[in-house]
Chains A and B, each alone.
Chain A
Amino acid sequence: MELYLTEISKYVIAGSMGAYTFFSFLVFMYRGEKRRSWIYLLQIISLFATQFACFIQIIAQTGSKRYFFLLMIQALVLASTISMFHMVYPDGNRLIINNMCMMLMVGMIMITRISYGKGIRQFIISSASLVLAFVIPELLFRLEFLERRGYVFAAIGILILGIILIYGSVVNGSRISFRIAGLSFQPQELVKIIYVFFIASVLSLNKDFKTVALTSALAAVHVIILVLLKDLGSALIFFVVYLCVLFVATDSYFYLISGILAGSVASVLAYKIFPHVQQRVQAWSDPWTTIDSTGYQITQSLFAISGGGLWGLGLYGGTPSSIPYVEEDFMFAAIAEEMGIIFASCLLAICVSTFIMILLEAYKIKNSFGKLLCTGLGITYIFQVFLTVGGDSKFIPLTGVTLPLVSYGGTSVMVTIIMFSLIEGECLVRSDERYQEYLKRKREKINAGKK
């Protein structure tokens, strides 16, 4: 009986995930949130079908009833997030919220499967962050003065990173954490948001060469501190985000190309100077000869990804714990192993769908700060996905960043949820722009009529 349930739910999981992914791209065929609402409904149904099938599998494999209650509570939290957000912010973008819930759901299931205690902790932090997510869009909409505080953000960001550099306890080369009131906290995750605020604000006010040079220098300070902290993943993210935002702000190919050149030169220099960079590159180019030392993590990850096959081994059917730091850096491998390549590919496609939607919002918004903020946050998100998944699968060298919303780590989840709610906030700004324009046109019509 358990065996039949496990096997059947394998296909149900992949099938409903596939359906969800399909809907998350079908959305782009329709303009306007109202016309999309039936797709969103189907999406929500697929989301809960996936979640339900996963829990059927977990209960069949473990025979433990406590998972049933967990399913109920998690489903309740996700359902209320989706429905209440739509009620509170009828002008918000629902795809981003749905996708966010989908990623959170998959992450929580996988973390619970690896370690029940961590799963519960992740669930509590996610729920708290979701509450926060209801306040932020409105705050952003109201606190317009934030748009003009660029250099203050730069100062705060560099200050925080500087403090970490001086006092921070270095764990595993690239993971820096502070313990505040018994909770482990990774401040450089928060700096990501502050940093995007800084560049979006400065570059939306001024685009002359002097400003660009000064901003570039300040951005470079961030990146250099991160490299010194051995947090190569974040350093790369900060660099790429700056490059893209600068490109969007100035529309200048000159800046883009010189930025890419500078980045290449810096990478080569970093490779030559830092032994830990060389080690990462070597472990990437040939992990098999050092399978018992530096290549261990990546080869175990490859075993997991290839071991799952198309449909996966089923939850509790694989050995994700054989990969060191699986719940932080190798969630993608664990998901591919137990839920299959099809499911894992769908997960990536959903990330891309989220990113396209963010770019679409950035494209439409007229407020320059909003445009740059959306772009910056979107790139931060998608590039981090690229780094972690590419690293797990030996597509690129491993940099040790988390899969946003899916990996274990309270700060990371909270920061990503805040990022998405900031983007929702910009959606409010955009619909307000539309409304103001509508009013303006109406007034002009009336004025014209008077004449």
Chain B
Amino acid sequence: MQEKNKSYPIIIIGVFTVILFISMISYISIYAITNHREMMDNSYNAHQQLLKKQNTRGTIYSADGQALAITSTDEEGNETREYPFGKTFSHVVGFSVNGRSGIEDLANYYLINSNAALKSKAEAKENDKKFPGDDVYTTLDVDLQQTAYEALSARDGAIIVTEVKTGKVLALVSKPDFDPATILKDWDSITNDKSNTQLLNRATQGLYPPGSTFKIVTSLEYYREIGEDYKNYKFNCNGKFASGDDVIRCFHGENHGSLDFPLSFAKSCNSSFANISLQLNRDAFGKTLDKLMFNNELPWDMNYSVSSAVCDNDLGDADTMQLGIGQGKTLVTPLHMNLITAAIANNGTLMKPYLIDSVVSADGKKIETFSPKAYKTLVSEEESDFLKEMMLGVVKKGTASKLKGLSYNAAGKTGSAEFKDSASDSHAWFTGFAPYEDPEIAVTIIVENAGSGGEFAVPIAKRLFDCCFNEK
């Protein structure tokens, strides 16, 4: 049985096995490490229970260090999650029982882990206490959130305020809301009633017809197609505009008379915008909508709804006119409207909105810091200048005149979105930014079933801007 000694098959098998194992080890390591956080947040993961038993849930702080959600432990070791501001932060901070929502969910991984120093852990263990979980500092501004919460008062609706240069979310309110401290007790009564929307975060999940706020988008497309020629635009409004059998009416049938483009925008003339939309290239409009993230994902880490606005060459005249004034099948979330406004205010660049500023261990060691990230360029600088100017006009000589003559210059666009056939019911919208010269914050407001945007949403914007700029 003597054989020649050289055996290539053995070498081939050996090399193949080594390569196979190297790829498997790399795969396992990379998969385990990159998916670590996501898997930890899975409710089927037993490690969560383990960490809950081991660590006290960390505290959620506002940007200036006020506790928004904190766990207190009584002498018998029973833990309760307390929310010092009651319902003010209910949707944005969320809850952590019966599932999770809001920042309680977003930051769950940090809150349940403990990066306390070994010394403090050993001390805790000696005293028979749990390890302190890591604390999360949010971007939220308590004053602004309270102002927004009070301004919306008993109305249903949503308010979102972001910092345009960084993407920090400063305030986020949605009503109706819930009491996070008693959510466990209220759970059945809330969830059993199908018409109850207390748990719906309207700012990010509520889909509304944008109404006239959508004219920002229509104007952008118009400017893209004809550029500086918009200055030659002339229109005579007699309260309605007809194309064939389809008629578009101005809000409350108002007669705007002779208008150029900036005034059509400032006065929010539906007839003029119906006229403009018919002149647009519908395929190009559809592409603009896609670029503005309609029918697409938003850079948002929590639950949200996808806005819908469709336009192409197959779209009929009637639907095109409806689209141009933000009615018909078009639906947006307040969050989406705010992101578009923030991008315009920030020279066209959208910063990724974020809520968690930093994660700090119980000993004060920074575990993780989140810095502003540019998400993408939504409009060019030129287009941004044009839209900013148009939005300033709304304040100076249009529907948002309640913002005129203040210590700062605000700019924006109102909307009165009709959601039923009867013209009397409308949601009041405002989306805008301030100061005009060097924009800092973008606010978006929707008050359900209130009436016109100029009358009901603009005053709320004023209170928010005042809160930001008058104290300084």
Q: For B97, list chain A residues within 8 Å (CB).
A: none
Render B5-40 as a binary contact track against A, CB cut-off 8 A, 1 for contact.
101111111100110110011011101110110011
Given A371-B7, A386-B21; A305-B28 close (CB under 8 Å): yes
Task: Decide if A302 touches B39 in the complex (CB within 8 Å).
Answer: yes
Find the B residue at minimum CB distance from A385. Answer: B21
- B125 on the A face (CB < 8 A): yes
Render A1-31 as a binary contact track against B, CB cut-off 8 A, 1 for contact.
1111001000000000000000000000000
- A306 on the B face (CB < 8 A): yes
Q: For B14, list chain A residues within 8 Å (CB).
A: 355-356, 359
Find the B residue at minimum CB distance from A345. Answer: B25
Given A4-B118, A306-B32; A352-B8 close (CB under 8 Å): no
Q: Which of A120-128, A270-278, A389-397 participates in binding chain B?
A: A389-397
Task: Decide if B47 touches A395 in the complex (CB within 8 Å).
Answer: no
Q: Which residues of chain A from 28 to 81 have any CB-CB distance to chain B below 8 Å in the complex?
A: none
- How far, in angstroms, from A351 to B5 measured CA to CA in the complex? 25
Task: Decide if B7 touches A251 in the complex (CB within 8 Å).
Answer: yes
Given A307-B45, A386-B21; A248-B3 close (CB under 8 Å): no
Task: Decide if B13 touches A348 in the complex (CB within 8 Å).
Answer: no
- A292 on the B face (CB < 8 A): yes
Residue in contact with B40 in the complex, picked from A256, A296, A307, CB distance below 8 Å = A307
Question: Number of B residues contacting the other chain (C-beta, 8 Å)?
Answer: 39
- How far, in angstroms, from A368 to B25 measured CA to CA in the complex? 33
- How far, in angstroms, from A382 to B18 measured CA to CA in the complex? 10
Find the A residue at minimum CB distance from B12. Answer: A247
Task: Decide if B122 touches A390 in the complex (CB within 8 Å).
Answer: no
Task: Decide if B46 touches A355 in the complex (CB within 8 Å).
Answer: no
Task: Decide if B47 touches A303 in the complex (CB within 8 Å).
Answer: yes
Task: Decide if A306 touches B7 in the complex (CB within 8 Å).
Answer: no
- A193 on the B face (CB < 8 A): no
- B1 on the A face (CB < 8 A): yes
Task: Decide if A352 touches B21 in the complex (CB within 8 Å).
Answer: yes
Q: For A375, list chain B residues within 8 Å (CB).
A: 10, 13
Residue in contact with A247 in the complex, picked from B13, B33, B40, B44, CB distance below 8 Å = B13
Task: Decide if B21 touches A306 in the complex (CB within 8 Å).
Answer: no
Q: Which residues of chain B from 45 to 80 have any CB-CB distance to chain A below 8 Å in the complex?
A: 45-47, 49-50
- A384 on the B face (CB < 8 A): no
Task: Decide if A303 touches B42 in the complex (CB within 8 Å).
Answer: yes
- A284 on the B face (CB < 8 A): no
- B121 on the A face (CB < 8 A): yes
- B369 on the A face (CB < 8 A): no
Q: For B5, list chain A residues within 8 Å (CB).
A: 363-364, 366
* B454 vs chain A, min Cβ distance (A): 49
Q: For A368, list chain B residues within 8 Å (CB).
A: 1, 3
Q: For A319, list chain B residues within 8 Å (CB).
A: 46-47, 49-50
Task: Decide if A3 touches B46 in the complex (CB within 8 Å).
Answer: no
- B422 on the A face (CB < 8 A): no
Q: For A296, list chain B residues within 8 Å (CB).
A: 44
Q: For B33, list chain A residues within 8 Å (CB).
A: 306, 309-310, 341
Q: For B40, list chain A residues within 8 Å (CB).
A: 306-307
Q: For B35, list chain A residues within 8 Å (CB).
A: 302, 306
- How far, in angstroms, from A305 to B28 measured CA to CA in the complex? 8
* A291 vs chain B, min Cβ distance (A): 5
Residue in contact with B46 in the complex, picked from A247, A303, A382, A386, CB distance below 8 Å = A303
* A38 vs chain B, min Cβ distance (A): 25
- A299 on the B face (CB < 8 A): yes
Given A4-B118, A300-B44, A306-B32; A349-B10 close (CB under 8 Å): no
- B192 on the A face (CB < 8 A): no
- A160 on the B face (CB < 8 A): no
- How far, in angstroms, from A256 to B40 measured CA to CA in the complex? 44
- How far, in angstroms, from A7 to B36 measured CA to CA in the complex? 20
Q: Which residues of chain A from 234 to 259 have any CB-CB distance to chain B below 8 Å in the complex?
A: 244, 247-248, 251, 256
- How far, in angstroms, from A345 to B21 measured CA to CA in the complex? 10
Task: Decide if B39 touches A349 in the complex (CB within 8 Å).
Answer: no
Q: For A306, list chain B residues within 8 Å (CB).
A: 31-33, 35-36, 39-40
Q: For B10, list chain A residues within 8 Å (CB).
A: 248, 359, 362-363, 375
* B45 vs chain A, min Cβ distance (A): 4
- A318 on the B face (CB < 8 A): yes
- B2 on the A face (CB < 8 A): yes
Task: Decide if B28 touches A4 in the complex (CB within 8 Å).
Answer: no
Q: For B44, list chain A residues within 8 Å (CB).
A: 291-292, 296, 299-300, 303
Q: For B47, list chain A residues within 8 Å (CB).
A: 303, 307, 318-319
* B232 vs chain A, min Cβ distance (A): 58
Task: Decide if A393 touches B27 in the complex (CB within 8 Å).
Answer: yes
A244, A349, A356 pick with most chain B CB within 10 angstroms: A244
- How far, in angstroms, from A322 to B48 measured CA to CA in the complex? 12
Render A193-209 as a binary contact track against B, CB cut-off 8 A, 1 for contact.
00000000000100000
Task: Decide if A367 touches B13 in the complex (CB within 8 Å).
Answer: no
- How far, in angstroms, from A389 to B49 measured CA to CA in the complex? 26
- A153 on the B face (CB < 8 A): no
Task: Decide if B17 touches A352 in the complex (CB within 8 Å).
Answer: yes
B18, B21, B50 pick with most chain A CB within 10 angstroms: B21
Find the A residue at minimum CB distance from B50. Answer: A319
* B415 vs chain A, min Cβ distance (A): 40
Find the A residue at minimum CB distance from B14. Answer: A359
A356, A364, A393 pick with most chain B CB within 10 angstroms: A393
> What are 28 A-to-B residue pairs whose CB atoms are below 8 Å?
A3-B118, A3-B125, A4-B118, A204-B1, A244-B9, A247-B9, A247-B12, A248-B7, A256-B9, A299-B42, A300-B46, A303-B47, A305-B32, A306-B36, A341-B32, A341-B33, A349-B25, A359-B10, A362-B7, A362-B10, A363-B7, A364-B5, A366-B2, A371-B7, A379-B13, A389-B24, A393-B31, A394-B31
Question: Which 9 residue pairs of A and B lie closest in terms of their CB atoms, listed nearest first?
Answer: A306-B32, A322-B46, A319-B46, A248-B9, A303-B45, A393-B28, A368-B1, A247-B9, A307-B47
Please give 20 more A-B residue pairs, beta carbons under 8 A apart, in addition to A244-B13, A251-B8, A351-B21: A247-B13, A251-B9, A291-B44, A300-B44, A303-B39, A303-B42, A303-B47, A305-B28, A319-B46, A341-B32, A352-B18, A355-B14, A356-B18, A362-B7, A369-B1, A386-B20, A386-B21, A390-B24, A393-B24, A395-B28
Q: Which residues of chain B have a CB within 8 Å of any CB of chain A?
A: 1-3, 5, 7-14, 17-18, 20-21, 24-25, 27-29, 31-33, 35-36, 39-40, 42, 44-47, 49-50, 118, 121-122, 125
